[in-house]
Amino acid sequence: MIAEFRLPDLGEGLTEAEVVQWLVAPGDSVALNQTLAEVETAKAVVELPSPYEGTVSTLHADAGETVAVGAPLIAFDIEGDDPPAAPSGGEQESSAEKAQPNLVGYGAAPTSSGRPARRARRRSAAPVASAADTAVLEAAPHDATPSVAVEPVLERPRSTPPVRAYAKRRGVDLVLVAAEVGDRVITRADVDAYAERIGAEPSRLVGAPERETTPISGTLPRAEGRPRETRIPIRGVRKHTAAAMVQSAFTAPHVTVFHTVDVTATMEMLARLRDDRALSEHRIGPLAVVAKAVCLALRRAPGLNARWDEESGEIVEYGFVDLGIAAATERGLIVPMIRDAERMNLVELSAAIRALAETARGGKTSPAELAGGTFSLSNIGVFGVDAGTPILPPGQSGILAVGAVRRQPWEYRGEIALRQLMTLSLSFDHRLVDGAEGATFLKDVADILEDPGRAMLLS
C-alpha cells in the first residue's frame, strides 16, 4: 500500500521549510528512523527521519523547493493493506502491536520488529559535480590523484551543512572526498585539499540552481568571467532575518546610544587569567566579560530585560536572562541563546559562548536554541568595526553591540597615555526604556569594563 509522509511541524510555529537535499531516491529501501532529507527552516537545518519502513515511491518536492507544513513530502510503498495505527486503549496488544515509534508527530508505527538500522542507499543518476570530478580522476596522471574506488562508497558522506555548501561552491563531490578520508567527518580542509589536487577552481559553482546569473547589456567593461548581475533567491535564514528586522524596525521605536570605554584594566585582567594555569585552558575573552557585565547591569535596568505585549496591554519583565549572541554563519545571521546566563560565572559564560559559536558554525543550531531570548549581544568588533546601530531582535527591548578593542591616545590620570578602548552601542525600545534607564545601564556596563572590581558592587 502507499503511505504518504507530510511535512511535520518542526516547532516554534514555523509554517514552511525548504528541501536542501534528498538523501533517498524513488526505489530506495528505507528503514524506520533513517534520514530522508535535510530541510531548512527559517531558523535551522533539520534532518527528517523516516516514519515508515518500506520503499520510496514518490518525492513530492525537488531540492530547493519550499514546502508548507502539512503538505505531502514523500510517499512510501509499505507492506500491508492498511497503514499502521496505534491500538485503542482497551484492547489486548500483541507484541508486534506494542512496537510503536517514538517519533511524536512524524508518522505511523513500524511494520517490522528488530533494531532499526540505516541502510546504504543506491547512488542516483550522477550529478554534474560527480561527473566532472570522475572525469578528472580518469584523465589525471596517477601521481596527481590517488587511485580510489568510488562505486563502493554508498553511504552518504559525513559532513556538516556548511561544509556541504562549501563543497558545492567549489565543485567537489563529497563522495569522492569520503573515499579518501574514510569514515570520519569531512572538513573544509579536506575539501580544499581535494580541490587543490584535482585543480577545481574556488569560484566554480556546480549544480546549484539557487544562484542564477543573468548578464545584462551595457557599455561598461566588466571583469573577465564575471556577470554584471547575480540573482539569489531569498530563502531560509536570510528570508526570516529580513522579515524579523523589518518587523522590529517599524514596530519598536529604536534609540541608540554610544559610549567609549577604557578597557585596559579588563584586558590586563584577561592576560592574568590566561597566565593562570588553572584557567588558561578556558580562553576567557572580552565578550565573556561584557556578557557578565550585562547580566549584572540588567538588575538595575529591568526595562531592558522585558518585552512589550501589545495584545494584553502589558510590559512583561523577566526574572532571568536568556542572552542572545549574534553569530554570522554561512547561512546568514542567527542569534542562539544562552539560557539563564545570569546564573553563570565568567568561566561558564566563556565556555557557553565558545560552544554556541562552534555549534552555529557547524550548522547544528536547533530551532529551540534560537527561540526566545530576553537581551542580545552583537560582537561587531571581530570584524574590526567600532560602533553601529543594531536593530532589536523581535520581542526584545535591548541589544548591545561590542566594538573592537583599539590602542589609542586617551586621557588617563591627568595625562595623555596609550590606552585600550572599546565603543559600546546600545539600542533599546523607547516604549519600555527611557533615556535615563538606557544611560544608567550603559554606564554600569562601562564601569565594570573600566574597573572589573566594580562588579562586586552589583553582584
Give the residue numbers annotated as catalytic, written as ranges.
430
Report DSSP state, residue 282. Answer: G
Length reported for the chain = 459
Question: d(Cα 76, Cα 48) in Å, to the nearest integer?
Answer: 15
First to last CA, the chain: 65
Helices (H), 84-235: 128-139, 161-170, 174-181, 188-198
Task: Give the 3-state secondary structure of residue 101.
Answer: coil
To 10 degrees, what angle do helices 286-297 and 346-361 make?
120
Spell out where 207-305 has E strands: 212-213, 230-231, 254-262
**Helix %, strand %, coil % for the chain, to 5?**
30, 25, 45
Q: Which residues contact 1 (CB under 8 A, 6 or more apart)?
A: 77, 78, 79, 80, 81, 82, 83
Angle between helices 188-198 and 161-170 (to 10 degrees): 20
Residue with cell 533494531: 115
Q: Helix (H) and strand (E) counts for the chain?
A: 11, 21
Residue 303: strand, helix, or coil: helix
Cell numbers found for residue 165: 555548501
Find the helix packing angle between 188-198 and 128-139, rounded to 10°.
50
Cα separations (Å) of 376 from 290, 339, 444? 11, 12, 17
Cβ neighbors of 401 (< 8 A, separation 6 or more) are 377, 378, 379, 380, 387, 388, 390, 424, 425, 426, 427
Q: Is 453 exposed, middle or buried (0-12, 13-18, 19+ CB in 10 A)?
A: exposed
| H or E element at residue 426 | strand 415-429
Q: Is 434 helix (H, G, I), strand (E, B) or coil?
A: coil
Distance CA 140, CA 261 (A): 58
